[in-house]
Amino acid sequence: MIAVDDLITLVRHYNPKTDEALIRAAYDFGREMHEGQTRHSGEPYFTHPVAVAAILTEQRLDDATIVTALLHDTVEDTKASYRTVEERFGREVAELVDGVTKLTNLQLSSSETKQAENFRKLFMAMSRDLRVILVKLADRLHNMRTIKAMRPDKQAQKARETMDIYAPLAGRMGMQWMREELEDLAFRVLNPEARASIIRRFITLQRETGDVVERITGDMRLELDRAGIEADVFGRAKKPYSIWRKMQEKQMGFSRLSDIYGFRIITRSEADCYAVLGVIHQRWRAVPGRFKDYISQPKSNGYRSIHTTVSGRDGKRVEVQIRTQAMHDVAETGVAAHWSYRDGVRSENPFAVDPARWISSMNEQFDAEEDHEDFLEAVKLEMYADKVFCFTPKGDVIKLPRGATPIDFAYAIHTRIGHACVGAKVDGMRVPLWTRVKNGQSVEIITAGGQMPQSAWLDIATTGKARAAIRRALREMDRDRYVKLGRELARWAFEHVGKRATDKALEAAARTLRLRDADEVRARLGSAELTASEVLRAVYPDLVPAGEAEVARERAVIGLGADQGFNRARCCQPLPGERIVGITHRGQGVVIHAIDCETLSRYDSQPERWLDLHWHAGKHPAAYAVTLDLTIGNDAGVLGRICTLIGEQKANISDLTFVDRKPDFYRLLVDVELRDAEHLHSVLSALDAEADVAAVERYRDPSRSGDKREEP
C-alpha cells in the first residue's frame, strides 16, 4: 500500500501548494474507517482507495478530487456518514463522496429499461460535478487491474459492464489511455484465448521482422532533423483489443492487418504540426481517406490532433498522430484537463473544454427523449460514435457520428431544415437520403414547403437528435388521427361494460395513468401505446375481467384508414409485437412487412406508398402463420415428439413440407400459427432445447414476396 508521505509526494510533484494536512487527515480517516475490512484478495481494503487516489494524481487533479478518492467508499461501506465527512472535510468533498456513492449503487448492467433510467441518473450526477465520474472511472480501473481475485461469474459481469459503459465513457471524455486500458483488461476476462493469440502473433512478428517500432521511430526522427523541426517521436504497437476489434470489423486475419502500429509526434507549436505533416507525407505515401485534421476541427471534448496513415517499411501501414504538448495534455486527460494543476496553480490549457458546457451539450441531446428505450438508444449512439466532419454549401462545418446520413446532416443544421428535407446533394451529386456521408464531403439539403418527416426516416437517421425530432413530428402529425381513433376505441370499450367514455371519465383515467389530459389518453389509446383494458382498469378496476379479450383481426393493425384492410407479407411473415411498415398496392389494399424485410428496398423510390403502422398492443389470437426451418434426427418417433412439443407451446401446425431427406437427418419447413413475437420465441426456445433438433430458425424467403401472393 502506498504510504501517505509517498501519496503527498505524488501530488506535490505537480501541485507544490497542495494542502498536505487535508490529504493526511483524509488518509488517516479512511484507514480508520476501513480498519478490519479486506478485499477479495485478502489485502486490507484501504489499499484500494489509496490506489484510486494515486491513479488520479497521474491526471494532476486538485486536492478535493484526491481526498474524495481516499474517502469514496467510507459512506457506503463504513459507519461514516455524509454529515461526518462534511464536518471534517467540507461540503465540496462531502458532495463529491456522496455522488460517487450514488453512482456505485447504480446497477448499470441491469435490464434495458432500468439501464436507461440509470444512464439518466449517471448523466445527472455528471452534470452536478464531472469529478464524480473521474473518481468512478479510476475506481473501476483499479478494480479491473485486480479483478482476478473475484469469482469468475463476477469477473465476467464486471468486464462486460466495463466494456459496454465505462470504457466508451472514458473515450467520450477524451481519456483515451484509460479507455484502451479498460478495454484491454475487460478483453482479458471476456476472451482470454483471443487476447493470448494476438500477443503470441506479435511475439512471432517481432521475431521475424525485428523491432519495427524502433526502426520507424528512428526514420521519423531522422527526417525531422533534416527538416530542422524540433519534436519528440514515440511509437508503440496497438493494444490487443484494438487489434481484435479491427480484425472483426474488417473481417480479416492478423497477417492481413496492416495498421497495427501507432506513432505520436509532439511538436513545439501548432505551425510545426503542419510542417511535420508535410515531412511525413513527402517521405512516406499517404493512405487515401485516412487523414483527419482535429486541430482545425476539434472534437467536442477538446481533443486536437492531426491523424494520418502512411505506408511505412515493407508496405506496413502506420498511424501517425501529430500535436503540440498542450494538445497532448488534453488528449491524455480529456475533460479532466480542466482541473489539472501545474506548479501549484490551475493549468490554463487553452484547449481544455469547459466541463459544464460539455455535459450540457450531452444532456441537451437526451432531454428530448421521453421513452426509456429511445433515451438509452440516443445515449449509446452518442457515446460510441466516431465523428465525421462535413461542410454546408457556405463552408460551415457540421460534426456527425460515423455512419450518419443527409437526414442527420439536415437535422444538425436545424429541425426545420430536417422536417422539410426532400433530397440531398453530396459534392454536387444527387444521392439517396440513406447515403453514408464521409469526412470532408460537402452536403446540400434540398427542401420543399409542405414536406413532413416520414416514418421510414427513423431507420435512416443515426443521431439521437434527428431520431428524437422525427419521433416528435410523427407523433404530432398522427395525434389528431390517433385522438379520433382513440375516442372510438374508448367508446366501444366503455359501452362493453355498460359505461360511457365521457371527458370526466377519461380525465380520471389520465390522473391515474399520470397523463396530461383526456386527449392524451385517447391519443395513446389510438396509437396502441395503451390498451382499452388499461384505460378501463384505471377508472373501473372492479369491472375489468381478469382475462383480456383477444384483439379481432380487423383491429389488429393501428394506422390504417377506415376503408383499408391488410395482408401479411409472405416474405417476412410479421408478427404482433414486431415493428412493421405498410406498403399500399393497387387492388390489394395494404401489405404489411417487418421493418427489416429485404423486400422493402424495392419501394425505396416510392415513399408515397409507405405507411407507418403498429400492431395493437392487446392480446392476439394464435392465428398468424410463421414458417420454421427445422433439421431433425431421422429416428423413429422424432417427428411425432416435435409435433407434440409444438402443441405443448399452444401453437397449431397448419402445414409441413419435407425439403431434404438424408440418412441421418430430415430438413423440413413447418408452418405454425402463433399469437405474437413472444410466442414465436417460446416455440423456438422449446425446439432448440430438444436433443433431436439439430437446427431451428425462422424461415424468410424474399422470393415469396410477389404482390399478388401476399397472405392474410
Nearest to 332 by CA among 60, 8, 137, 9: 60
Q: At what angle do helices 47-57 and 20-33 cross, to 10 degrees?
A: 150
Q: Using CB atoms within 10 Å of the CB of residue 553, give its burial: 0 to 12 exposed, 13 to 18 middle, 19+ buried.
A: middle
Pairing of strands 317-324, 261-267: parallel
Would you call 77 a catalytic residue per the annotation?
Answer: yes
- The secondary element (H helix, E strand) that includes residue 515 is none
Residue 36, burial from CB neighbour count under 10 angstroms (0-12, 13-18, 19+): exposed
Q: Which of 77, 671, 676, 692 is catalytic?
A: 77
Cell digits of residue 268:
513545439
Selected catalytic residue, list 76, 164, 578, 598: 76
Nearest to 63 by CA among 87, 44, 90, 81: 90
- The yes-or-no answer on residue 76 being catalytic is yes
Residue 228: exposed, middle, or buried by beta-carbon count in 10 A (0-12, 13-18, 19+)?
exposed
CA–CA distance, 471 with 95 (Å, rounded to integer): 37
Q: 3-state secondary structure string, 391-406?
A: ECCCCCEEEEECCCCH
CB 455 within 8 A of CB 478: no
Q: What are phi and psi of 619, to 5 degrees?
A: -80, 130
* Greatest extent of the chain over all pairs of C-alpha atoms, in Å: 93
| Distance between CA atoms of residues 161 and 539, nearest Å | 42
Which residues are within 8 A (CB) of 607 and not within 5 positions of it... i.e. 6 or more apart? Answer: 454, 456
**Identity of the amino acid at 211:** D
Beta bridge partners of 387: 401
DSSP 256-292: G----EEEEEEESSHHHHHHHHHHHHHHSEEPTT--E
Question: Which amino acid would we find at residue 671?
Answer: D
Region of 495 (left: φ > 0; alpha: ψ -120 to 50; beta: rest) is alpha
- Alpha-carbon distance of 60 to 702, in angstroms, equals 59
CA 660/CA 666 separation, integer angstroms:
6
Nearest to 623 by CA among 683, 673, 557, 551: 673
445: closest CA among 473, 477, 408?
Answer: 408
- β pairing state of 421-426 and 292-293: unpaired
Contact between residue 68 and residue 93 where contact means Cβ atoms under 8 Å apart: yes
The C-alpha cell of 379 is what?
445515449
With b for 16 or more beta-carbon neighbours within 10 A and e for fewer, the 104-121 pattern comes to eebebeeeeeebbbbbbe
CA distance 559 to 110: 34
Cβ-proximal residues to 227 (8 Å cutoff; 6+ apart), any chain: 275, 279
Residue holding cell 426451418? 629
With 0-12 CB in 10 A as exposed, 13-18 as middle and 19+ as buried, what is 289?
A: exposed
| Residues 163, 190 contacting (CB under 8 angstroms) | yes
The C-alpha atoms of residue 130 and residue 622 are separated, in whole angstroms, by 52
Give the Cβ contact number of residue 127 at 10 Å: 15
Residue with cell 425446439: 687
Q: What whole-number distance in Å separates Cα of residue 329 and Cα of residue 350?
A: 11
Catalytic residues: 76-77
